[in-house]
Structure 1
Amino acid sequence: MRLTTLLATAAIAATSLAAQAQEHSFRFQSSDPAGNPNFEFQQGWTETLKEMSDGNVVVELLPVGSIVDYKETQDAVGAGIIDGHITDTSYFAGKDPAFGLIANPVGAWSSPAEMIDFVENGGGAELMNELLNPYGLEFIGVSTPGLEAFVSKVPLEGVDDLQGLKVRTPEGLIANVFRAAGAAPVNLPASEVYTSVDKGVIDAADYSVFSVNQEVGMNDVAPNPVYPGFHSLPLVEVSMNKAKWDALPDDVKQMFRESVKRFQQTQVDSLRERDLAAVEEAKAGGEITVHDWSDEERARFRGIARGEWEKVAAESQMAQKVYDTLNAYLESKGLIQ
């Protein structure tokens, strides 16, 4: 009888463990398409998490648009339609301008490390949860595809060279900052940038990271790129349904955080290496001059941008809180005066 009882108890325990493992299966949706390099890094995160948990925490990562539109994932996660998402936070600026300001405070960052430190040690993570929790989401961690380079036909050594520059930018904060810096923003779709630069319709463009610009030939028609860039670095969040997060054991929560940190480091380091290789390729050709703005010129542009951040801050209570926290961080690091 004892043996029978022990076997029955073991069977119940095994069933319980299996049920626990099943509880830790999730579906996340990305804002990137399958095959995109960023999506591949995100898939690497799911593999890391599975390995760390001995197969007990499994995330099925779906490409953009699989369940809902990329601008609807926040609502879908909050409603439990999907369990989480990996996405550019700026997509939700329509809900609160604070999302746009924290996602890409144009001109604030000169490297991914600065933005990451702000999120992890400067109050950014707390702001993200203050923003996300009311929508039923929990912020887990951050990554980024990197600081965009700047495409230019003419030499740009600093802010003064932006005067009158016809520059392609998306509408919104980026265009407003460049306009405040003296440039003449032009709103064009990405598909028209190469031709517009080549034909002289525009002088410069906010387009992509250096390696992408080099790959598509953008630097050939605009041989004065600025690298590292000085304007745009997107915050990509990894978040999940808050109720499901709260129900997780502490050790599983820790595995989520640690695996996202590994994903972040892998993505940032790999893309930086790709950019540096592209820079060397561009320089070796002898026809492209890579310009690197001084810390002083970057600070000048950041100071101009702050005036535009301030306008966004006036639009909501949370935007003001993001503005105050961001400025306090930048001042503490000597990045702004």
Structure 2
Amino acid sequence: MILKTTTAALLAGLCLSGAASAQEYSFRFQSSDPAGNPNFIFQQGWTETVTEMTGGKVSIELLPVGSIVDYKETPDAIAAGIIDGHITDTSYFAGRDPAFGLIANPVGAWSDPAQMIDFVENGGGKELMNELINPYGLEFIGVSTPGLEAFVSKVPLEGVADLQGVKVRSPEGLIANVFAAAGANPVNLPASEVYTSLDKGVIDAADYSVFSVNQDTGMNEIAKHPVYPGFHSLPLVEVSMNKAKWDALPAEIQDQLKASVKAFQQTQVTTLKERDLEAVGKAEAEGITIHNWSDEERAKFRAIAQEQWAGVAEGSPMAQKVYDTLTAYLKDKGLLQ
């Protein structure tokens, strides 16, 4: 895998000088993605980056979802020492505290991966993550994301008003609540039924995946009015490990692990964005009409979503803290009135 210039600079600056040192630390991580999935392949690249950045001192074995424990049980397995860490969508732990769901995917908050990443790295997000996961015996190392999902639609959508009455496939919970508040009619369907449901008119639109995946799976062929960039869903993927084992690492190794996650993040986000742009060109050549919402319309959707975030915030003290930090960040950046 070819890393971008910025990633290469990180590698050059943080790799140990001289020949590779003997392995000193060996860890086992479990992913929330299956083997062969594009995201899992990026994550495997991260383990190689770790080896390179640490001069061979750290080795990480990455296992696909479900290899050792269920994807929702990885925090307990990490605390118990069954595995050492995970790369996972943080929203899977919303049942433990609604704060996990709110920080993982505050529907409508982000219009670009860079916004979410900046919130985590510079806007209080990483501190919130550690406050959330430290009690479970975990330490937050860094963040990545597959990117902002596009929106599949058979009908033209130029803004929030056009969502009125539109039958939208969405998961239950926060995202469905936001769409309902925006005037759409959410329909809960498994991903396997989205294509046929669109084709048969059971639904008009769908929360599904990033643009390149939607294009590759033929979604845009039957729903010729996608919204790109999307306006709704961008998942936070955390890289965390056992806190006691993290605390026992030398500061130099900790710094290298953080830098390795940053390199992984940059590679994943940049590569998937490039694939999306290539897919956009292909879609436009095939006569598909792509709709890009204005900043004003995105702000309208975000304001509607804020009311639903506030409802989630009532679920726990930590959820309220996430809500307060998130909305303060968005207001400071001019993304929320």
Shorter-normalised TM range: over 0.9
The answer for the alignment partner of 1:312 in structure 2 is: 312
Counterpart position of 1:93: 94
Q: CA deviation at 1:189?
A: 0.4
Match of 1:336 in 2: 336
Residue 48 of structure 1 aligns with which residue? Answer: 49
| Mean Cα deviation higher: 23-32 or 221-230 | 23-32
Q: How far apart, CA to CA, are the structure 1 residues paired with 2:330 and 2:303?
A: 11
Residue correspondence of structure 1 range 110-125 to structure 2 within 5 A: 110-125=111-126
Give CA deviations for 1:159-214 in whole Å, capped at 9, x if unaligned: 00000010000000000000000000000000000000011110000000000000
- In structure 2, what is the equivalent of residue 327 of structure 1? 327
Is 1:230 the counterpart of 2:231? The answer is yes
Is residue 163 of structure 1 aligned with residue 164 of structure 2? yes
- Is the contact made by 2:23 and 2:56 (CA closer than 8 Å) also made in structure 1? no
* 8 Å CA contact retained: 2:120, 2:126: yes
Instruction: Confirm or deny that 1:127 pairs with 2:128.
Output: yes
State the shift of 1:22 in Å. 5.0
1-side partners of 2:325 and 2:149: how far apart? 24
CA distance in 2, matches of 1:127, 1:79: 23
Q: Secondary structure at the match of 1:256?
A: helix
Which letter does structure 2 place at the counterpart of 1:316? S
Aligned-partner Cα distance in 1 for 2:133–2:23 = 26
1:258 aligns with 2:259: yes
Q: Which is greater in Rg? A: 1
- 1:1-337 paired onto structure 2 within 5 Å: 23-286=24-287, 288-337=288-337
Deviations 1:72-93 (A, max 9, x none): 1111111111000000000000
Distance, in Å, in 1 between the alignment partners of 2:252 and 2:147 is 30
Determine the C-alpha separation between the residues in 2 that align with 1:253 and 1:170: 37
Tell me the distance in 1 between the aligned counterparts of 2:172 and 2:223.
22
Tell me the residue number matched to 2:4: none
In the aligned structure 2, how far is the partner of 1:42 from the partner of 1:165? 37
Between the aligned partners of 1:261 and 1:33, the Cα distance in structure 2 is: 22
Amino acid at match of 2:327: N
Q: Distance in 1 between matches of 2:226 and 2:336?
A: 24
**Secondary structure, aligned partner of 2:121:** helix
| Whole-angstrom distance in 1 between the partners of 2:304 and 2:330 | 14
The SS at the match of 1:106 is coil
1:145 and 1:22 mapped to 2: Cα distance?
A: 31
SS in 1 for 2:35: coil
Report the identity percentage. 80
Runs of 4+ in 1 over 6 A off after TM superposition: none
**Matched AA of 2:54:** S
TM-score, reference length from structure 2: 0.93
Q: Distance in 1 between matches of 2:219 and 2:179?
A: 20
User: What SS is found at the alignment partner of 2:142?
Assistant: strand
CA distance in 1, matches of 2:335, 2:224: 29
Deviation, 1:28, is: 0.4
Aligned equivalent of 2:13: none
Equivalent residue of 1:237, what SS?
strand
* Deviation of the 1:54 alpha carbon: 1.4
Equivalent position amino acid for 2:309 in 1: W
Quote the residue 1:8 is aligned against.
none
Structure 2 letter corresponding to 1:61: L
Match of 2:134, as an amino acid?
N
Q: Deviations over 1:206-243 (max 9, x none)?
A: 00000000000000000000000000000000000000
Deviation of the 1:285 alpha carbon = 1.1
Q: Which amino acid aligns with 2:45?
A: G
SS in structure 1 opposite 2:143? strand
Report if the CA contact (8 A) 2:144-2:237 is conserved. yes
Distance 2:22 2:29 in 1: 17
Deviation at 1:29? 0.4
Q: In structure 1, the residue corresponding to 2:110 is in which secondary structure?
A: coil
Deviation at 1:330, TM superposition (A): 0.1
**Cα distance in 1 for residues equivalent to 2:204 and 2:74:** 36
Report if aligned partners of 2:299, 2:335 keep a CA contact under 8 Å in 1: yes
Q: How far did 1:289 drift?
A: 0.1
Partners of 1:163 and 1:249 in 2: CA distance: 55
Q: What is the CA–CA distance in structure 1 between the aligned matches of 2:54 and 2:320, rounded to whole Å?
A: 40
